[in-house]
Structure 1
């Protein structure tokens, strides 16, 4: 987990989350995807390769 101060990036949350404050936000970087807790954006984030994140999305969409 990355605990560095947040870098200025554009974060977004799923449109399916609506007004629910309990969700995660993602930020697409040049070679990875960062994920953080929307309730605690300064507590760190975790990064995945683009390939790993795409595989994760395929998996959850199939469920």
Structure 2
């Protein structure tokens, strides 16, 4: 019974690692596409709109 449980754990871990790899791979690909877009726009003299930054602090509305 312990052997079966270990195999399941290894399979689950392998699946989780593969999913994490896919997520990181997609993030890297999007970052590469962003860089290429910025580079081509710069070479063509096109000004891209500014990116909105995430708000990480609370503003004082008083």
TM-score between the two structures when normalised by the length of structure 2: 0.25
Which structure has more helix as a fraction of its residues? 2
Q: Which structure ranks higher in relative contact order (CA pairs < 8 Å, sequence separation ≥ 6)?
A: 1
**Higher gyration radius (CA):** 2
Which has more strand, going by share of residues?
Answer: 1
